[in-house]
């Protein structure tokens, strides 16, 4: 194959200079890129406004594409449901009769629980929902795990608020734009969540691995054994995530640190709920007297 047209400028001095200046500009641009890279590594939220500006344009597009995806994926399920609706109805009626007693017992327990809590004068921070929206896209080409939420400052979403789905914790809000927000998913390598084991309340820390799983590390006892199926919920330590939200279950038997799979699938065609941080952030410390 003959070589493609060269950008060599021939004998024109002017063209030679402009080519040379182009290379100088490119090298300068690379240096600027390196400087920006260092700055954004040291202070990640610095360029949030720029990213939010672009996300403001791309989020409605993603949202529209998401609607098409939902329409296509809902179709087979809808047809399938139509066919065994009678059988399902009978089975559910049977189940309902069987579970009436359980429900009654649960109601009584619930009432009793509430009364006892009132007796103890337990004060619980109330979890308030800020917004409910869909996660419409994510950083699928990057090794970082961010998702874009279709709600932003106008809907009351602010950085630091926890995001959860119906099955469990999804992550927390990192940056917000007017109508979109960037969510740090649990699976991101820089996400840390304080958790405890449901079985015995052992504290642990869940850190993302970047490959879709998270690592659960013991935070209380050294050498804590983890067995397959151990479930972990948020402990409420740190004040961001409300306690008791399901996080992950262990998939491999190990001691001290074990890989776990998150309960919430952020790619499910469903809603994510943004909540207020469990405890309000502390006021800034008073200025030291001189």
Partner 1 sequence: MSDIRASRPFEQPTPAGIARAVPLLTVMLGSAITIIPVVASFPILPPFGLLVLLAWRLRRPDAFRTWEPVLLGLFDDLVSGQPLGSAMLFWTLATLGVALVETRLVWRSFAQDWAAAAAAIALCLLGGRLVATPLDAHVDIALLLQLGAGIALFPLAARLVAYTDRRIGR
Least separation in angstroms between CB 185 and partner 1: 8
H helix intervals, the chain? 13-42, 48-83, 85-120
Taking the complex as a whole, the smallest distance from the CB of residue 156 to partner 1 amounts, in Å, to: 22
For the chain, what is the radius of gyration of the CA atoms? 26
Could you say which of 131, 137, 155, 197 contacts partner 1 (CB under 8 A)? 137
Residue from 12, 15, 17, 47 in contact with partner 1 (CB under 8 A): 47
Structure tokens at 131: 């917004």
Stretch that binds partner 1, among 17-25, 77-85, 248-256, 282-290 (CB under 8 A): 17-25
Q: Binder to partner 1 among 15, 36, 91, 221 (CB under 8 A)?
A: 36
| Contact pick of 156, 159, 210, 243 for partner 1 (by CB under 8 A) | 210
Contact in structure between 174 and 240 (CB atoms under 8 Å)? no
Nearest-angstrom CA–CA distance, 191 and 209: 9
Name the one range near partner 1 by CB under 8 A: 2-10, 110-118, 193-201, 224-232: 2-10
State the Cα–Cα distance between residues 218 and 93, nearest whole angstrom: 44
- Is the distance from CB of 202 to CB of 221 less than 8 angstroms? yes
CA distance 110 to 64: 42
Residue closer to partner 1 (CB basis): 33 or 225: 33
Nearer to partner 1, 45 or 201 (CB): 45
Least CB distance from residue 287 to partner 1, whole Å? 34
φ and ψ at 218, to 5 degrees? -65, 135
Question: At its nearest, how many Å lie between partner 1 and the CB of residue 101?
Answer: 40
Q: Which of the ranges 96-104, 205-213, 223-231, 281-289 carries the binding residues for partner 1, by CB under 8 A? A: 205-213
| Region label for 47, one of left (φ > 0), alpha (ψ between -120 and 50) or beta (otherwise) | alpha
Q: What is the dihedral of CA 217, 164, 268, 58, to 10 degrees?
A: -110
The answer to whether residue 37 forms part of the interface with partner 1 (CB under 8 A) is yes
Any contact of residue 49 with partner 1 (CB under 8 A)?
no
Distance CA 232, CA 229 (A): 9
Interface with partner 1, residue 177, by CB under 8 A? no
180 sits in which H/E element: none
| Contact stretch for partner 1 (CB under 8 A) within 16-24, 93-101, 123-131, 216-224 | 16-24
Q: Give the whole-angstrom CA distance, residue 13 versus residue 138.
A: 48
C-beta closer to partner 1: residue 237 or 270: 270
β 225-226/271-275 pair status: unpaired
* Binding of residue 75 to partner 1 (CB under 8 A): no
Q: Which residues bind partner 1 (CB under 8 A)?
A: 1-7, 19, 22-23, 25-30, 32-41, 44, 47, 50-51, 53-54, 58, 61-63, 65-66, 69, 135-147, 185, 187, 189-190, 208-213, 266-267
């Amino acid at each position: 194959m003959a070589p493609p047209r060269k950008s060599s400028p021939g004998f024109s001095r002017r063209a030679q200079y402009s080519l040379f200046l182009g290379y100088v500009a490119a090298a300068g641009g690379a240096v600027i890129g390196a400087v920006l890279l260092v700055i954004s590594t040291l202070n990640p939220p610095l360029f949030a406004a720029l990213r939010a500006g672009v996300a403001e344009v791309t989020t409605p597009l993603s949202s529209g594409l998401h609607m098409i995806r939902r329409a296509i994926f809902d179709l087979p399920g809808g047809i399938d449901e139509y066919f065994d609706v009678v059988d399902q109805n009978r089975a559910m009626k049977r189940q309902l009769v069987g579970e009436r007693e359980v429900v009654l017992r649960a109601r009584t327990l619930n009432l009793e629980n509430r009364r006892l809590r009132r007796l103890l004068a337990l004060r619980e921070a109330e979890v308030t929902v800020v917004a409910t929206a869909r996660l419409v896209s994510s950083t699928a080409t990057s090794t970082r795990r961010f998702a874009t939420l279709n709600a932003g400052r106008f809907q009351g979403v602010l950085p630091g608020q926890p995001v959860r789905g119906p099955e469990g914790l999804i992550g927390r809000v990192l940056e917000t734009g007017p109508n979109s927000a960037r969510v740090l998913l649990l699976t991101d390598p820089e996400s840390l969540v304080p958790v405890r084991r449901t079985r015995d309340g052992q504290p642990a820390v869940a850190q993302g691995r970047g490959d879709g799983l998270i690592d659960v590390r013991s935070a209380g006892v050294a050498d804590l054994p983890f067995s397959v199926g151990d479930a972990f919920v948020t402990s409420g330590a740190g004040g961001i995530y409300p306690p008791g939200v399901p996080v992950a279950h262990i998939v491999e038997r190990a001691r001290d640190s074990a890989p776990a799979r998150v309960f919430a699938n952020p790619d499910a065609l469903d809603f994510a709920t943004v909540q207020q941080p469990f405890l309000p952030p502390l006021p800034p410390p008073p200025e030291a007297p001189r």
